[in-house]
Structures are given as structure tokens and as C-alpha cells.
Chains A and B, each alone.
Chain A
Amino acid sequence: MKRQFSTGLLAILLLCTSCVRPNKTNPSRLDLIQKRGELKCGVSGKIPGFSFLNSDGQYQGIDVDICKAMAAAILGDGKKVIYRPLTAPERFTALKTGEVDLLSRNTTFNLSRDAIGGNGVTFGPVIFHDGQGLMVKKRSGIEKIDELINSNICVGSGTTTEQNLNDTFQELNIPYTPIKYQDLNQVIAGYLQGRCKAMTSDISQLAASRSSFPNPDGHIILKKVISKEPLAPASIDGDPLLSDAVRWIIYALIAAEEFGISQNNIDQKLIEAKSNPNFVSIRRFLGIDGDLGNKLGIANDFVVKIIRSTGNYGEIYNRHLGPTSRVPIPRGLNKSYKDGGLLIAPPLK
């Protein structure tokens, strides 16, 4: 008995000491994606306009197009994406364990999530400036937040939404009861069934879910925006090769709009730039001159590949959230800085 025990102990000691050294030559996930030939992208899959299954069983939305742009830049083909629908609580774990390469899932960029002592992921540039709001039924007559005193409010658990709600109501000294569900669809069901007077989420999500209600006009989103919600894609910490690629692929989408380069005119612009050596910045941007793409470890003409696949940021926005889309959300803060918005790309030099 004693001998068996000590043998076992020896075995476990040997095994532990021999391999608890982390792999020193940690390959970048960028190489891994290129080797695999496919990009694994974590999305929500439940928010129209951001990521949603269309009637053909294909994911579509602004978050989905970010995945496509990434795949186009890294692999040369925007279709080489495997989508993984993730719930809010599982998203960071999925990213950290390598289940997905990129998290493009309406995720708010904040300190705790970025920091090593928090969720420890690395965020790309903001792709959508959102804010949290509250939606109520029109016939309730509620117009201001303080009219929600002592009400039930439906909220999704495991999100910043829950914290913001609490912070706001605590600061305003309004007592309330949160009814928490794990899933946005349950939040909607709870709200529509009348369990709560109001439901809260990012305004984009409120608008998106309202669009699928039986009677969208019967619900109003309160004017007061209770938080900043800059939504950004995220990649794993400690992988600068991948996070740099994510950052500049998104800046390229924004810069393309600044340059006026779109899916329709990309071929024409390419011919113009090739024949005219004076178009210095556009030639560099499109990879005719210089080595911008090579510096990132991806194709030198990655911008051309992205634009062919998804178009520039403005085109992506209009396709999914524009006035003629199913989920119209005014562009507001998400306009280019040239039009008075917040989107600006540092120079691609």
C-alpha cells in the first residue's frame, strides 16, 4: 500500500516537473490561421444588423463583415471563415482557450477587459460607438428614467449592461429590481410578456430586437443614454502579430472610406493609381508601392482584397444598418471624422 502510494507520488512529481515549462517559441495565431486556411470567428448570431443568420442560413451583419475582412486580408478569401456563435459569458473563455481566433461579437471595450488582471484580451479599434439605453412600451407613458422607480427591469447577465444599469440607478438613487436572463432572447421574452416595465441593452441591440417585434411602433427607446459602449473586436493577449493585423485591417476599412475607395470603384482606382506615379499615398495604401502589408505579415495588397470582399466601412455600415436595411440606425458618432463623426484612421504609412 505504502509502496504503491510512493510510486504514484513519484509519477506525478516527474510528470509535473518535466512539463510545466511553457512553450517558449509561441507561434503567432496569425501563422496558425494561415496554416489552417480558415479563420475562426466568434460572433453572437442573435443580433440583426450585427450578426444574424439570414434566410439562406448565412451569417450576416457588421460584426460578420469584420470577420470577412480579416479572412480576406489574411487568407485572400473573405469566405474562409468558420463562425462560432457565443453567449456573453462564454466569449472571453472561448477567445483565451483558442477556440476562436477573433472575437467579433458586439463587445464593449473597457479597462477591465483589456487589462491583464481582468479579462486580459487585446482590443482592436472601435467599429461601432454605441450607448446603453432603456426601452419601454409606448402605452406605459414612461418618458424619463426616474419614472421607472421601483420597477422591474429585464437585463442580460454577464454583460457590462448589468453593471451600468446598477451604477446609473444607484447614482440617481432610484430603487429597482433587475430580472436577469442569460440570453438576449430571454430578455426580450421577459419584457414582451410583461415581467418588466423596461428592458435595457445597447441601443443598437434595442433597435435590432425591436425590428423583429410584432409591433415595433409600440415601443420607444428612452432618450437618456446611460453609458458609452464602444464596441470593438478582440484577440488574445500577448500576440502582437495578430493584434496588429486586426488593428490595421480595421483602420484600412475606415481609411478606404476617407479615400473614397469602394467595392464598386476599386478596380478603376487600382488602374488609375498604377498608371499615375503621383498618387503616392493611394499607391502605398493599395500595396502598389512600399511594403505595408508585408510589415504586418500579410499580403502586401491586403487593402485591395478587403475592399473587394466587403467594401469600405461606410459600405459595410449601410449594408447592415443603413436607412434601407432591416435595422436602420442613424450613423451619428459612427460617421467619418470628415463628416463630423468619431471614426478616424491613423495614417497607413
Chain B
Amino acid sequence: MSKTKIFAPSRRAVLQGTAAATALSFDATLARVFAQTSGPIKIGVLNTFTKSVGLFGETTWRGIETYLEEHGNKIGGRSVELIKEDDEFNPQVGLQKLRKLVESDKVHVVLGPLGSHIATAMIGYMKQSGTPWIVTGAGSTALTKERMPNMYRATLSNWQVANPMGTWEAKNGIKDVVVIASDFLAGHDVAEAFAEAFEKNGGKIAKQVFPPVGTNDFSAYITDLRSINPGAVYGFFAGSEAGRFVKQFQQFGLKGKVKLTGFQSMLDSDTFPLQGSSAVGGLSSSIYCETLDTPENKNLIARYASKSKDLPGIFTESGYTVMRIIDDAVKSVGGNIENAADFCKAIGKTNIVAPRGPVRFDPDTHQAIQNVYIREVHEEGGKFVNKVIDVVKEVGDYPGNKA
């Protein structure tokens, strides 16, 4: 080994560096130990804050902050410490972060994740650890089939939102539908739930197609759609794909001939900037609508205005409402969130009117029971919004998930 020396720190420098680094990390550990004995309620927020879906994590986070600001950063009379971890939309990373939150940060409750694949990965570990876990985002229908005592889903299940839409369309004069859904698990979940209800109520599924994730050019699918010429198309896409599909649907001249309908994520406030006027008139179902005319929702809109120029979307509302659920549960156990079993039971007794409407939990599967709104896209003063045209009240979990 007779290479030229490029970098050779003196031993003292290295030792000093190491000592400094050790001292730093030791300090951090100490701080953690002390925080454990007295102190704040620790909430671990495991969500996706980067990658293409990072926006959803950010808006969830803002909803959480909105609630805390409204309540003086206190929950059940105790101060709150939020610990934010990014799962990078990767289940392996999600598990690493989950272990850190539970074992190192010793959080009292875990919120998240966004991805169903990450939620699936978390099941084994969470069963073991017993840490209270409220799912915000992940929609996989099968998730609540686990019926874990320490897991509640405060947001939608794919079945819950897609199934009522199938019934609604069949009962509102649509006779045949082409289902087009992104080819990953959620897409299949949604397509199946929609088709089941639509056919049960006398509708006919003309065709089901599953374009691969990341499709840029939908022309082949849309040409096919034109030749079938069904009463409506039911779509499941999210993010930029939803933007492209709806735009191309209009560009190919199908708008006005075939009714555009879809899942919540296809026609939502975060896709409108990509879709513009091509979204107008589109129908979708969701557990939330930004223009709901209730005092709870108006309050959220007013408070959120200081954080963003946009109206709150489904994820902001989820972040806000999940904090309300925790707040109520902590109050009902007299602030003693450390008793996980009692705290979980208290969550199960949730009965609130959130901005989205009334929310309670299925005692068996722990899925939130909530209203599903049928919404139509409108243009209002240059802005695009969803408006409620019908409500399906208190929709529960997929019956197949029950014991």
C-alpha cells in the first residue's frame, strides 16, 4: 500500500471529533429519557413526505398542525410532541422508521401511513408491539380484515367509497359502464367494489381495463372507449395520472358523450390544477367535500386559510379529524394515554361530528363509519371545486371483513 497520502487526519483530531459526536448523541438520548417520564403526549406521524405522493403527506401534516394551533398545542390537557418520519413510500423504510418511532422515540400513538403496502408491512410488527395505531390514508379494503385491537382506520376504505358509487350510478340512469383503473392493488380493489354494486343493481359492466401505473398516453384506451360508447366511464387514477386521463378524455371529444365518473382521487382538489376545465361536470364519490356547508367544515376552512391559499382537501381534513379523535379519547381516559389498552378502547367509542360529517368506528373491524358524498365538479370564479349532489349516509366497512 504505497499510495500517496491525500487525507490523513492526526489521531487527536479524530478522537476529538469522535468525542464530540458521542457527547452530542448522548445529550439527545438523555433528553429523550427525561421527556419520557414527565411530559408531552408523543405522536409519531409516519407518512410519505417525498416522492410523487409527498404532497399528500404534507397536506395531512398541515391538517394536524391546524388542529393543534386551534387548541393551543394541547391535547387532553397535555402538551404534544409530534415526531415526523418519512417512509419514502417504501415498506422497508417504513418498517425501519416505525421501529424508531416505537422503540426509540417511544411514541404513544402512530398515525399513518399513506401507502397500503406500507400498512400491510406494519401489521406484523404492530400486532407484536400493541402500540395504538390510527391509519390515515392507506385504503386497502383488506386492511381492517385483520381486526387488530390496537388499529383503527380513521380514513376511507377503497370498498367504502367505490361501492356506494356503483349503487348510485345504477340507480341514476346509467346502464352500462367501462371501468378503467390503475394497475395496482388499490385499482383492483376499487374496480371490484364498484362493479359488484353496479351489477347488483342492474347495471352492466361493458369492460374492465387496467392500464399500467405511470401511463402517459391513454389514447388506445380512450379510442376503445369511444367504440364501446357506454353510458359512463368509471375511473380510478391518482395524482398526475388522473390529470392526464381526464384531460385526454376531453381532448378526444368524449366529454359530453360518455359521463365521466370516478373514485375520489380522480377528481379532487389536488388534481384540478392539472385538469382545468376538462374536469367540470365529472362525478366522484368521497368521504369529504371541500364545499360542505357545515359549521365544522367552515371552521376548518377558516383556520386552514392561514396555512394555504387552497381549500382543505381530503388529507388535510384527515389530519385534522384524527387529532380530534385522539383529543377526545385522551380526555375520556383522563389524560392517561400511557395505558394503551384503555386508550384504544376510548378511540373505539369515538362519536364526533368532523368537518366531513359524523364519524364513529365499527366495533368489529375498527373502520370509520362515515358519510359518502357524491360530488360534481363546478367552476366558480375561475376556481374548480367539488359540490355535493347526493349523500349516502353512514357507510360502514366491507361486510366480508367482519367476523
Q: Do A and B bind each other?
A: no
Residues of chain B whose beta carbon lies under 8 Å from any beta carbon of chain A: none
Residues of chain A whose beta carbon lies under 8 Å from any beta carbon of chain B: none
